[in-house]
């Protein structure tokens, strides 16, 4: 009927509008929520429309992430960065490649802190490794994992079963770093040993007081920045469908 058609037309319009609004809010929150500073203390995976926020696989089943590096780094810095990248190359199908003319790429810069966007945002995206506090193997891996689309381990959807957040010691302006995210955990178990997990006193307002306490066993170690864990590597391989 004519009225039926009008109704369908209106519903479709409303749906398109809602989709648009959701995307705007989503992109907006990406910008603010994800720009996380781990300096000086130092995802699970993102759900993603059309896999649009992940890096693309090439015909060789490798996922190329083009990069450029600021000239402010020393040759020692560069070798630390490249060595951190080599873990991805050796254990996953991710390949950080010097940029030629690719549209989407990461720009490694000596900015104020250690941070990255979450996933591929399109075009140039800055990953910051401050020379004074971020050019370390595990920290570089941590930020590169964000760029691949991984949240902090302690914000994954099921984290309340594994850690307790002590909100009384979390500064208000840092609370977003501790908020639960709607993550795709890919059937991997919670990983206290993840390079994406914060340490116990991260951002604490009171020296010696935990912002994050592992449960039920508070003595479990968290927050290592030595190297990616086996589960960190497994999650990359799952998310990107690597054949390794």
- Of the pair 99, 211, the CB lying nearest Zn ion is at 211
Q: Is 72 a catalytic residue?
A: no
User: Is 146 annotated as a binding-site member?
Assistant: yes
Owner of token pair 């030629």: 100
Q: Which stretch binds Zn ion (CB under 5 A): 38-46, 84-92, 119-127, 219-227?
A: 38-46
Residue nearest to Zn ion (CB): 36
Residue 191, token pair as written in the block = 């990983």
Q: Quick check: 87 binds Zn ion (CB under 5 A)? A: no
Q: Which stretch binds Zn ion (CB under 5 A): 32-40, 166-174, 209-217, 224-232?
A: 32-40
Catalytic residue among 64, 109, 143, 168: 143
Q: How far is CA 139 from the centre of its chain?
A: 12
Long-range contacts at 198-201 (CB < 8 A, ≥ 24 apart): 198/38, 198/41, 198/42, 198/152, 198/154, 198/222, 198/223, 199/41, 199/42, 199/223, 201/41
- In whole angstroms, the minimum distance from the beta carbon of 228 to Zn ion comes to 13
- In whole angstroms, the minimum distance from the beta carbon of 141 to Zn ion comes to 11
Give the E-state strand segments of 18-162 in sequence order. Answer: 63-69, 94-98, 105-109, 114-115, 124-129
Q: Which of 34, 36, 181, 240 binds Zn ion (CB under 5 A)?
A: 36
- Structural contact between residues 41 and 203, judged by C-beta atoms closer than 8 angstroms: yes
Provide the binding-site residues for Zn ion, judged by CB under 5 A.
36, 38
Residues with catalytic function: 143
């Amino acid at each position: 009927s004519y009225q039926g058609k009008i109704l369908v037309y209106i519903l479709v319009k409303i749906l398109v509008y809602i989709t648009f609004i959701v995307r705007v809010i989503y992109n907006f929150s990406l910008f603010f929520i994800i720009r996380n500073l781990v300096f000086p203390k130092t995802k699970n995976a993102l759900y993603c429309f059309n896999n649009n926020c992940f890096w693309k696989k090439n015909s060789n089943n490798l996922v190329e992430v083009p990069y450029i590096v600021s000239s402010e780094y020393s040759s020692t810095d560069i070798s630390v960065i490249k060595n951190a990248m080599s873990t991805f190359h050796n254990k996953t199908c991710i390949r950080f490649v010097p940029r030629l003319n690719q549209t989407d790429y990461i720009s490694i810069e000596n900015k104020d802190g250690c941070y990255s966007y979450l996933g591929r945002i399109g075009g140039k995206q800055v990953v910051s490794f401050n020379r004074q506090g971020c050019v370390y193997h595990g920290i570089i891996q941590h930020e590169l994992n964000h760029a691949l689309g991984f949240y902090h381990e302690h914000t994954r959807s099921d984290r309340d079963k594994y850690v307790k957040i002590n909100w009384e010691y979390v500064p208000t302006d840092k609370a977003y770093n501790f908020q639960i995210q709607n993550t795709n955990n890919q059937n991997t178990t919670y990983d206290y040993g993840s390079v994406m997990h914060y340490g116990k006193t991260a951002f604490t307002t009171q020296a010696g007081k935990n912002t994050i306490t592992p449960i039920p066993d508070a003595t479990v170690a968290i927050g290592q920045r030595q190297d990616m864990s086996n589960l960190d590597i497994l999650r990359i391989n799952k998310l990107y469908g690597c054949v390794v």
